[in-house]
Structure 1
C-alpha cells in the first residue's frame, strides 16, 4: 500500500522515531511514502539521519523526504502526525517560571493551569497555519492525528476552526489500565475497561474480569500496593472521594485540581520524587531539558548504536500506527480517542473534545455512545472544559480578556491567585511569549506599557516546593542507557519508580 504519511514537528526524536517504527513494522505499510518537516533544521537533520538508518538496516526501500518547507512535506499526504512543541523549551520555561512567581506550582504545565493555557495559545496560533496548508495541499480525505498538547484545546481548534478532520491520541489510558491490572494481580489482557472523560481526566468507569465488575475493589487494592500507594497519592485520594480511578499520573492530575498544590507546605504530602511525573515542581521541563541536552551532545553515538528493529510484535502502545493499519487493511482496532463529543458522553457538552472508547476498521473511526459519566466525575471534567473553551476562543480571536477569564476559571490558578495577580501574571506571560503569539500584538503592546508604567504587585522568586536541579551532560553520562531510553521515548515517564 503506497500512501503518504507526514510528520509535522519531526525534530521530536521520541515521537517521530517511535511512531515511524510502529508504522513500518506492519508489512502492508512497508511501502508508504514518508515526509518529515520541522522549523529546526538541525533537529530535523539528526532525526532524519537516525530514522533513515533504521529504515536502511531493516532493508526497506523508503527514502524519507525531509524539508523545512511545510507545504512540500504535506503535499498529497493522507495521514499526518502532529508532534510539535510550539516555542520549544524556551517558551516552556516561561510556562513554568512565571506562574511560579505567583505561587502556581506546576509539575508539567502542558494541559491546564497557567502553563497549559499559554501553551494552547501558542499551539493554536501555529496549527491554524498548519490546517490551512493541509486543506490546500494534502489529500482530500486526510486525517490529522494530534499528539501535541494541550491535546483537547488543539484538537478542538483544528476541528472547529481549522477545517481539518482531527483525532487526538494519548497513551494515558493504557498506562492506567496497566496499573489497574497490577493492583488486581492480573495481566492487562485479562482486565476489560471502559474509560471516558476528557484527555488527562478520563475515568475508568467500568473495570471487569471474566464478566465481574471489580470497580469497587480498586481503592483497597491501590491502597495496599507497595509502590502506587506512594507514587499515586493524588489519584488514590480522587478514587477515594469520587469513586473512580483517573487516567493521568500523579503530577499531571495534581495540577488540574484546586486541592493538592495550592499550599506550598502541603505539596510534598501528595507527591513522590522517585520520578518527575509523580509531582516534582517543573519536572517535565527538567526531563525535557536533560533529554535535549543529551541528544544534542551524544548524537554521534546514537548513529553508532544498533538500529531499531521493525517487528510487528514490538510496536509501542501509541494508537497512531494501529489506526493507519485499520483504515488501510480493514483490521479492527479498539482504542481510546479524543474527538468532538456530539453526544458520546451525554452529560458533557457536545462541542467539547472528549476521550472515549472507539473502533477503527476499513469503514472509518466509530465512537459508541457512552452515556452519562458519574455525576462527580462529570463535574470535574466540566470545570476543565469551561477553561478549555475560553482558552480556544481566546487563541482564535486573540482576545486577552477571554484568556484572563480562562486563567481565573482554571482550578489551580483560581485556588492560588486573586484577580489582580492573575491580570499581572497574564501580562507577564503575554510579553514573554510575544514571538509565538502574533494574534495578541495589540494586547501585548498594552501589557508592556502596564508592566513598565503601573505599580506592580510584588512577586516571589522561588524554586517551588519540590524542585530538582537539571543534570549536566557529565552526570547523565554515568548512566547512558537510562538517559538514552528517556531521551528517545515519546513517553518520558514510562519507567517511573518510587522514591527510595
Structure 2
C-alpha cells in the first residue's frame, strides 16, 4: 500500500543523482513549492557528482528539503515514496560513436538517443542498467511511484515492466510542452489572442515517445486544427520563428518545417521537435538539415556543454551556492504532488498500452495524456493514430520491443534484426552488419 506518514516526511530517491540537468531542475522546482518537504537521496555511479549535488541541494531553498548522497541502490531506495530515474546510459564517448560512426555510411542523426542506429545502441546499453534498477525497486521500494526521464524512453520504461511487472512506473517527456507553446504562439499570430500559459492550450495526444501526435487541440472554445492548417500553409516554406529568435542560434531550435510537412501529409500535428521527428522517417530530412531549418546536434557540443556545467558546479560548491529559484517548466513536482494527494493533474506520460492507443500492441510503451491523482496514474483512452502514422509507429514499436528483449537476453541476432529494420539503415545487409558490429564492439565488446 502506498502510504506516507506526513507530507514533511517524503523521501524522493534520485537514481542519476549526479545529474547537472534534470536534478538541478528538480531542486529549483522543489524550492518553489511549499506543499511538501522531506529528503532527496542522491545515487550515482559518479559518487563525487552526487556529493556535489548534495552540497548544492542543501544550499537551495529554505531548508525544507534535505539532500543526501548515498552509495548503493539499497540505501537510495529503502523507504522511498517516489523514485526518479535520470541517467546517461554509458558515456558521451559512447554517444559519439552512436551518432557519428554511422556517418561513414551516409547515415545522419540529429539526436541519436531514441531510434536510428544510435538509439538502438543506446537502448542495448540501457537495458541491463534498467534491469538492475527494476530488481532493486522490486526488492527495496516495490510500492513507490517511479518516474523515468531517461532515453530511449520506450525501451527503458518497457524494461522496468519486463523485469518487475508489478512496478508503478511511467516515463515523462517535455516535447509536448513545446508543441503547446507553438500552438499558443499560433493563436497570437493567427487570431490576435494572448495565451498566458501553455497549459491553457488543451491537446489530445497519442503515439510513442518523440513520435507523439496531436489529433485535437483547443483554446477556450476554439478548435485549433483548422487554425493550424492555415498557420501551416502560411509558414510551410519559410518556417516559423519568433521575432529575434533564429533557428540558427541554437542547436536545439528549428523552424518547424518538418512538423508542418508532416501535418500536410497526415492531417495531425506532430508533438515533438523536428530534431526528434526526423529520425523516425527515412533520411530525406536528415540529409538536408539546412533546407529544413534544423540541426544535427554534434556530440562535441554536448561535451562542451558538460565541461561548462562542471565548471559551474565546482564554482557553486566552492561558493556554497544553491540553484537559482526559477521554475523549470517541467511538471515533475506537480506530478509528485498529485500522486501524494495534493491535487489532480492531466499531462502526457509513457505507459504500457492497455488499449489507450488503438491498433498498437498491448504492453508496448505508448504516450498519451493521463489523469494523475492520489496513488493513481490513469491513461486516457485516446483512439487511433492516422493510418499512415500508425504504420510508421508500428515499425518502431516492433523494434523497441526487440531491443528490450535482446538487451535482456543478450540476443545479438535479434538486436541486429531490429537494427536492420530501422528506417535510417538504408544499407545492404552486409554493410549494415559491418556497421552494427563496429558500433557494438566499440563500447560493448561482450554483448
Q: Report the TM range for the smaller structure's normalisation.
A: 0.7 to 0.9
**SS of residue paired to 2:157:** helix
Q: Which position in structure 2 is the counterpart of 1:143? A: 145
Q: CA deviation at 1:34?
A: 1.3
Q: Which position in structure 2 is the counterpart of 1:156? A: 158
Deviations 1:163-192 (A, max 9, x none): 422100000111111111212214135432
Residue 278 of structure 2: which of 254, 257, 276 is its match?
A: 254
Pairwise CA RMSD: 2.0
1:279 aligns with 2:279: no
1:191 aligns with 2:198: no
Q: Which position in structure 1 is the counterpart of 2:106? A: 103
**Higher-helix-fraction structure:** 1
Q: Which position in structure 1 is the counterpart of 2:71? A: 68
Q: CA deviation at 1:373?
A: 1.9
Q: Which position in structure 2 is the counterpart of 1:419? A: 429
Q: Which position in structure 2 is the counterpart of 1:20? A: 27
In 2, are the aligned partners of 1:386 and 1:409 still within 8 Å (CA)? no
Structure 1: how far apart are the matches of 2:278 and 2:385?
Answer: 21
Q: When the two structures are superposed, what TM-score results if normalisation uses the length of structure 1?
A: 0.79
Q: Which position in structure 2 is the counterpart of 1:308? A: 323
1:51 aligns with 2:73: no
1:241 aligns with 2:265: yes
In 2, are the aligned partners of 1:183 and 1:222 still within 8 Å (CA)? no
1:41 aligns with 2:47: yes
1:295 aligns with 2:309: yes
Q: Which position in structure 1 is the counterpart of 2:247? A: none
Deviates most, 325-334 or 159-168: 159-168
Q: CA deviation at 1:306?
A: 5.9
Residue 342 of structure 1: which of 349, 354, 357 is its match?
A: 354
Residue 131 of structure 1: which of 130, 134, 137 is its match?
A: 134
Q: CA deviation at 1:130?
A: 1.1
Question: Residues 362 and 190 from structure 1, CA distance in 2 versus in 1: closer, same or farther, beyond 3 angstroms?
Answer: closer
Deviations 1:281-335 (A, max 9, x none): x43x23321121112234343344963355xxx5333232111101213411110
Structure 2: how far apart are the matches of 1:365 and 1:39?
Answer: 30
**SS of residue paired to 1:43:** helix
Question: Residues 363 and 143 from structure 1, CA distance in 2 versus in 1: closer, same or farther, beyond 3 angstroms?
Answer: closer
Deviations 1:421-463 (A, max 9, x none): 111111111211227xxxxx3xx5xxxxxxxxxxxxxxxxxxx
Structure 1: how far apart are the matches of 2:150 and 2:199?
Answer: 28
Question: Residues 211 and 390 from structure 1, CA distance in 2 versus in 1: closer, same or farther, beyond 3 angstroms?
Answer: same
Question: Residues 128 and 12 from structure 1, CA distance in 2 versus in 1: closer, same or farther, beyond 3 angstroms?
Answer: same
Q: CA deviation at 1:389?
A: 1.2
Structure 2: how far apart are the matches of 1:51 and 1:85?
Answer: 20
Structure 2: how far apart are the matches of 1:208 and 1:59?
Answer: 39
In 2, are the aligned partners of 1:194 and 1:207 still within 8 Å (CA)? yes
Q: CA deviation at 1:50?
A: 1.6
Deviations 1:99-125 (A, max 9, x none): 122221111100000000111111111
- Gapped runs of 5+ residues in structure 2? 1-6, 189-193, 242-253
Residue 3 of structure 1: which of 10, 23, 38 is its match?
A: 10
Q: CA deviation at 1:400?
A: 0.9
Deviations 1:333-352 (A, max 9, x none): 11001000110111221121
Q: Which position in structure 2 is the counterpart of 1:320? A: 332
Structure 2: how far apart are the matches of 1:287 and 1:29?
Answer: 37
Q: CA deviation at 1:24?
A: 4.0
In 2, are the aligned partners of 1:359 and 1:366 still within 8 Å (CA)? yes
1:407 aligns with 2:407: no
Q: When the two structures are superposed, what TM-score results if normalisation uses the length of structure 2?
A: 0.88
